Amino acid sequence: MSTLLIAVGAFVGYIIAYHTYGRWLSQRIFNLDPHADVPSVVLNDDRDFVPTAKSVVFGHHFTSIAGTGPIVGPAIAIMWGWVPALVWVLFGSVFIGAVHDFGALVVSLRNRGQTIGDIAGRLLNPRVRFLFLLILLFSLWIVLAIFGLVIASVFRMFPESILPVFLQIPIAVGIGLWLHRKGVGLLLPSALALATMYLTVWLGAGCPGIEGGGGALGAGVRDLNATLATWPLWVWTAILLGYCYVASVLPVWTLLQPRDYINSLQLISTLGLVVVGIVVAGLTGIDGQPVEFVAPAFEFSPTNAPPIFPVLFITIACGAISGFHCLVSSGTSSKQLKCETDAQMVGYGSMLTEGFLAVIVILAVGAGIGFGWEGNEALTGGELWNDIYGDWAKVGLATKIGAFVVGTANFLGAIGVNHTMGVAIMGVLVASFAATTLDTATRLQRYVVQELGRAVGDQAPALRPVMAPLTNAYGATLFAVVTAFLLALLPKPGVAWSWEAAGGGGLILWPLFGATNQLLGGLAFLVITFWLWRRSKPIWFVALPMLFMLVMPAWAMIAQIPKWVEKEQFLLVGIATAALLLEAWMIVEALLAWPKAKGVLEEALPPLESIRGKDTSPEPATATSGPNC
């Protein structure tokens, strides 16, 4: 019953937060205006700047920010107890994460869709722009390397997810062309896409539920899955990054936007099924047994685990607050909103939805996992929990993802879903979340590389010919995927390089992922704070989260550096030291600019006419007001 009460309480709490705190931010702080000009309209180029319905942008934004972060993070942090993990997710998402995402989106909307790095240069000074772009570059490298590894690992653990994930690509292209060129409503394409995707999941699982196992078709799919599961990690990483290159250079409405939208339909409907399963399981139990937490409520000293402070707050990133989200808000979503008031739903609402996903993960891992795990059929309840989570050092990536998939599949079983099908549905959910984050991160890295190329050329004109290939979409994207692939070719720490071992390179940087991600969130809060300060608006609600998110990741990295030195992990030491120095430099620059900034607006952007005269993109449409909203 406790799982049911938590799920319902969290859902109701998020609805209340959206209509109270979110509305206050929207109306009293950011003063969103339905008649304001927006970047997607005034800079419409039919490639990156495309006016889009808020439901489609919500789908893109939610699936891009979620990834596997709100799954893996809570699945680790629950080792300190489900209560600390749940409290951080609930309060962090409402008062920190959603404010961060919403603020970054609005600030970008008010600056013609510029990324947070570009905006930092104008709000503070040009040096900060370059520092911020360097931090973004390294952060996105880590994201690309890790998420490529995560998806490849999911494919090997749950090969039934491979076929559905790749069949989503032609479905997305078809939906994108249909919506963009025919101008039809969303209802029919959405229903057809959702039904088709669930059909692909059933096919990828080998046609479960049919007598005889689906005959030759089911057997053929199962044989194919078994073969694909043996492919090396680096092969999958190369395929995924190749897909990301194509998705990044195509117009956003062709693949990225429709795939994120149809994925959001599948993901939200799946979460809905899981919630129904939690409700039924909470009332009737699973296989006649009541559903209760098998994870401890509090466990401040798990075996071989680091201290809960500050590590809890960087372990659960997505789901509470994630710096990566500011890149999505300012990098892609701000270029697609066709109405300024849509920002509350997309920015604030998406983060609350992700927080609810993290709550579901805590329930699945803390309670749902207690009903069995393939290979551990003899163990259930607390014994199974201790066998899986007894030692921090032994809880690897497969364990974290597997615990979520199996736990939620058990909840689906409470409403009669075939267990094989349930595992397939949840495996596809994890892989799809990660894939949408990966392709969005590639596009974002393209923007960062292009901005860095222009910044270097502006500071050193002699280097402009060298930087020129990095300032166009194709060269910047190629740089992004090739460098990420080279990083991924590295073997796991302590393993000699070979083609069989290649592909685990993302694990080298895994210890830095949470800290650098959260540090980026603190720096984004710094930019939002300056934007408000220059307009003489209240800042307490962003200044307090900013201080928290600057201190916690720095504390975590400083605490880990001696251990990395002892283990001779000098790559981690070097990146962590560089991140800390960049953070300190930006804070110094901010302190110097602070006294002179209150009530003083930053330098205005150049007139639109001068921008249009320098490029060859189609003439932007004239901004309109009422019809767009």
> Is the pLDDT assigned to residue 164 strictly greater than 80?
yes
> Is the pLDDT assigned to residue 403 strictly greater than 50?
yes
> Is the pLDDT assigned to residue 561 strictly greater than 60?
yes
CA dihedral defined by 195, 199, 200, 204, rounded to 10 degrees? 150
Question: Considering Cα of 521, then 80, then 509, then 430, what sign does the dihedral take?
Answer: negative
CA dihedral defined by 368, 271, 315, 128, rounded to 10 degrees? 180
220 versus 499: which is more confidently predicted? Answer: 220
Rg (the chain; Cα; Å): 23
Give burial (CB, 10 Å; 0-12/13-18/19+) of 615: exposed
pLDDT score at 280: 92
Boundaries of domain holding 232: 2-491+500-628
- In this predicted model, what pLDDT tens digit does every residue of 579-589 receive, in sequence order? 899 889 989 99
Average pLDDT of the segment spanning 100-128: 92
Assign 299 a pLDDT band (cuts: 50, 70, 90). Answer: very high
Assign 625 a pLDDT band (cuts: 50, 70, 90). Answer: very low
Cβ atoms 558, 536 nearer than 8 A: no
Long-range contacts of 382-387 (CB under 8 A, 24+ apart): 382/294, 384/294, 385/294, 385/295
Average pLDDT of the segment spanning 553-570: 89
HSE of 508 in the Cβ direction (CA atoms, 13 Å)? 28
pLDDT score at 628: 60
316 versus 511: which is more confidently predicted? Answer: 316
Report how many domains make up the chain: 1
- In this predicted model, what pLDDT tens digit does every residue of 230-249 receive, in sequence order? 898 888 889 999 999 999 89
Report the alpha-carbon distance of residue 405 to residue 424 in Å, rounded.
9
- In this predicted model, what pLDDT tens digit does every residue of 12-52 receive, in sequence order? 999 999 999 999 999 999 999 999 999 999 999 988 899 99
SS3 289: strand
Domain holding 37: CATH number?
A: 1.20.1730
Question: Considering Cα of 486, then 488, then 493, then 496, what sign does the dihedral take?
Answer: negative
> Is the pLDDT assigned to residue 609 strictly greater than 70?
no
- Percent of the chain clearing pLDDT 70 (strictly above): 92
Average pLDDT of the segment spanning 333-360: 96
Compute the mean pLDDT over every residue in the chain, rounded to the nearest whole number.
87
Beta-carbon contacts of residue 126 (< 8 Å; ≥ 6 apart):
none
pLDDT score at 623: 37
State the alpha helices, DSSP H only, in 367-468: 381-389, 397-413, 419-459, 464-467
Report the alpha-carbon distance of residue 93 to residue 353 in Å, rounded.
9
DSSP 488-533: HTS--TT----TTTTT-THHHHHHHHHHHHHHHHHHHHHHHHHHHH
HSE of 274 in the Cβ direction (CA atoms, 13 Å)? 31
Quick one: three-class SS letters along 39-83?
Answer: HHHHCCCCCCCCCECHHHHHHHHHHHHHCCHHHHHHHHHHHHCHH
**Residue with token string 């090969």:** 159
358 versus 390: which is more confidently predicted? Answer: 358
- In this predicted model, what pLDDT tens digit does every residue of 195-223 receive, in sequence order? 999 999 999 998 887 766 667 888 899 99
> Is the pLDDT assigned to residue 437 strictly greater than 90?
no
pTM of the complete model: 0.90
> Is the pLDDT assigned to residue 627 strictly greater than 70?
no
> Is the pLDDT assigned to residue 612 strictly greater than 60?
no
